[in-house]
Structure 1
């Protein structure tokens, strides 16, 4: 008997509230009119992907950076209003951002 069953036995008249915090937290990002620029560089011989051009709140951009890093299982950072992702993940990042509703522009080869 798990915890939910025990609670139902103790409080039979209670109906639990259904909240979708996961969807609402992800959709709070401000969508902009201008596209986010996704470009590729090599620094010290290692490939990186840079996202820049977000005009919303910095906290939203930091949340987006964290979400991208966890989805791609890679390292990265947020510096100078840029998201820097280790590795060449332009295609995957662009598809993730397009699914969220962002306009993305690919710059470079």
Structure 2
């Protein structure tokens, strides 16, 4: 007996409301035809991952940067249409972008 059955026994007259969980096919980000370039550099001796080539709105790019930083639990910044993520996370970032419908091109090693 799961929780919903127990609740039905306690409140037989209650009609559950629609949870609103519909299949929302609208993408969270603006998708583009050109691939996003994902590259690795060292700045001041520390590894960074750089994402370039997104030509959507700045607000979409900032949301994408925030989601990537939250996913990885690292710091980063958004400047001049590039996202700079602290550390070498190319594989994880590329998987995240592909899952969200982006085309990604890996540059360098």
Same fold (TM over 0.5): yes
Could you tell me which residue of structure 1 aligns to residue 107 of structure 2? 107
Query: How many residue pairs end up in the alignment?
Result: 99
1:78 is paired with a residue whose SS is strand
Could you tell me which residue of structure 1 aligns to residue 86 of structure 2? 86
Structure 2 stretches lacking a partner, 5+ long? 1-6
Could you tell me which residue of structure 2 aligns to residue 50 of structure 1? 50
For residues 34-81 of structure 1, what are the alpha-carbon distances to aligned partners after superposition, in whole Å with 9 as ceiling and x for unaligned? 000001110000000000100111111111111111111111011111
Could you tell me which residue of structure 1 aligns to residue 76 of structure 2? 76
Structure of higher CA gyration radius: 2
The 5 A counterparts of 1:7-46 are 12=14, 15-20=16-21, 27-46=27-46
Q: Deviating runs (4+, > 3 A) in structure 1?
A: none
After TM superposition, give the deviation of residue 20 of structure 1 in Å. Answer: 4.0
After TM superposition, give the deviation of residue 12 of structure 1 in Å. Answer: 3.8
2:71 is paired with a residue whose SS is helix
Structure 1 stretches lacking a partner, 5+ long? none
Q: Distance in 2 between matches of 1:96 and 1:63?
A: 14
Higher helix fraction (1 or 2): 1
